[in-house]
Chain A
Amino acid sequence: MDVTNFVLSGLFCALIVFWTRRFLDTQKRIPLWDKRLNLFWGLFGILVGLATAFKSELPVVLLWLCSIPTLAYTAWLLRDLQPARTLFQGLLPYVFVIVNAKIVEAVAPGFYKRHDDIFDLVSSVMTVWLAASFIFASRQKKEWARIEAERAEEAERRRLDEVRKAELEYLVAERTAQISRQKEELEQTLAELKATQDQLVQREKLASLGELTAGIAHEIQNPLNFVNNFSEVSAELVKELIDERQRGPERDEELEAELLDDLTQNLQKIAHHGHRASGIIRSMLQHSRASTGQREAVDINALADEYLKLSYHGLRAKDKTFNAKFEAITDPTVGSISIIPQDIGRVLLNLYNNAFYATQQRVKQGTPGYQPSVTVRTERVGDRVRIRVRDNGLGMPDTVRQKIFQPFFTTKPTGEGTGLGLSLSYDIITKGHNGTLTVDSQEGEGTEFTIELPNQPQS
């Protein structure tokens, strides 16, 4: 055989070793074994040198005989890897056949010569098998690399997810803390608002009580004047009666009877006006007292009339030039219904005060020939009682009308109204008494509020 062929065969063998090492990535996977494989370069140099020097094939054959099992062993070391396993499966039969063929060739060259066609065929088949294994292993490696890359990618993704999750968890914790802080702040604000609301309701009550006070003073003064006057005049009558009796036989019995009649009448008047005064004081106390929430059978007509007077005199006490016609047109069939009297009293007072206020504002506009008037009308409608409070004041545009039951809405100048009167009234009628409170208004004509209360006591 030609020397060049030996060298080429040796180079080819070295190339296969080199390629296999790279293919199996031995440097990284089995570094210790890889270092030993480096010795191959020396072995390769020596054997190829010997083959060239002695022009002998033997060193090259030895080279192959060393290399192939070594590679098979290398593949076996990495048998956990699919491509390495495939490569091993390719190399093992090849090594077996080639080695056996070479042994046979060396031991029994005659037998080998006779059957060299069979040996060549088997060698070729094995070579093809090896090549096919290489190709297959190469494919597997690619596939494996792809899976590996995917795995790495997946791992990286998972790691990123973990990082992201940790970040999110931190954010969530932070947000939760922030939210609970805000919640606490809101709860505190709500508590403050509730306290403020209670204060405002109390202030509204006191404000309407203030409006009442002047009216009440006037309303009480009148009956008290009568009580004083009738008792003084009765004292005079008694004195006159005694004088008459002392006249003996000349006494005028007819006059005495008349005096006694007058006295009886006066005592009734004193009692009447005394009760009138104490009734007013009672209703004032009811108004200022916190609502007991207790329902009582109340004469609606008397209540409507009483508060109308109080409201008028209250306004009069503030503005003495103001004068209005006011009238209670009552339906006697209304009678008594079960209500919380101080609450309904507040509603009525509020509606009356607003009504008088509206007429007062119209007076201030100076409409010629204008006569302010406020009317309350009670009536029975089926099993309900209707109370209508009508004024001929300024009236209001729709934009105002839509908002009047909203808390804190007021058309009065700052400081004059709390803006709670109608809102509280609305709650008292609708929530407290299961009734309705509606409004009808024409700008420049007047306003009418209508309360409707169910007659049946609500349980």
Chain B
Amino acid sequence: MNILVVDDETDVRPLFEQRFRREIRNGEFRFTFAESGEQALEYLKDLLSEAVLILSDINMPGMSGLELLRQIKSEYQAPPPPVVMMITAYGDAQSYNQAMELGADDFLTKPLDFNELKNKLKTLQ
């Protein structure tokens, strides 16, 4: 399964790579990383057919995660529609409602519980 992680923190990359080292090693998951909403959209142009799941931070400089979500949901409707999970440090109702209205498939708060995330990903497979 292809997973695109969008976060402005670059250390998210080694973290995911280590947290999912077994899954990556045995080819279960394949991760791609983008540092901004704009970069994520660039990747999606090329990788759409491969990307199945998008994990995006909401709070980023420039294009916010919510804006990215809106664009993905409106532009990439081709089946199968990508699953988009939103992650935020602000677990407030307002962000949650907005994400849900825009069609987010899930809403996770930081700090991420990687075991929970792993389970969620495995059920999606």
Chain A interface (Cβ within 8 Å of chain B)?
Answer: 218, 221-222, 224-226, 228-230, 232-233, 236-237, 262, 265-266, 269, 273, 312-313, 316-317, 320-321, 323-327
Contact = CB atoms under 8 A, between A and B. Distances in A.
Interface of B: 9, 11, 14-15, 18-19, 59, 61-62, 64, 66-67, 89-90, 92, 94-95, 98, 110-112, 114
A325 B110 contact: no
30 contacts: A218-B90, A221-B89, A221-B111, A222-B89, A222-B110, A225-B110, A225-B111, A226-B9, A228-B111, A229-B19, A229-B112, A229-B114, A230-B18, A232-B114, A233-B18, A233-B19, A266-B18, A269-B11, A269-B14, A273-B11, A312-B61, A313-B59, A316-B90, A320-B90, A321-B98, A323-B66, A324-B61, A325-B61, A325-B62, A326-B61
A222 B9 contact: yes
B19 A221 contact: no
Contacts of A269: 11, 14
A224 B90 CA distance: 15
A326 B61 CA distance: 6
A233 B13 CA distance: 13
Contacts of B90: 218, 316-317, 320
A230 B19 CA distance: 9
Given A232-B114, A236-B18, A269-B11, 10 more contacts: A218-B90, A221-B111, A225-B111, A226-B9, A228-B111, A262-B14, A265-B14, A316-B90, A317-B90, A326-B61
B94 A229 contact: no
Contacts, number: 57
Contacts of B89: 218, 221-222
Contacts of A321: 94, 98
A233 B15 CA distance: 8
Nearest to B110: A225
A407 to B, nearest CB: 33
Contacts of B98: 321
B67 A226 contact: no
A230 B15 contact: yes
A312 B61 CA distance: 9
Task: Select the residue from B9, B14, B66, B112 with max chain A CB neighbours within 10 A.
Answer: B14
A226 B15 contact: yes
A343 B102 CA distance: 43
Contacts of B19: 229, 233
A325 to B, nearest CB: 4
Nearest to A325: B62
B11 A323 contact: no
A229 B111 contact: yes
Nearest to A317: B90
B43 to A, nearest CB: 19
Contacts of B111: 221, 224-225, 228-229
B67 A320 contact: no
Contacts of B9: 222, 226
Contact of A226 (B11, B64, B114): B11
Nearest to B92: A320
Contacts of B112: 225, 229
Contacts of A226: 9, 11, 15
Contacts of A230: 15, 18
A312 B62 CA distance: 12
Given A218-B89, A225-B111, A323 B14 contact: no
A262 B94 contact: no
B15 A320 contact: no
A262 B11 contact: no
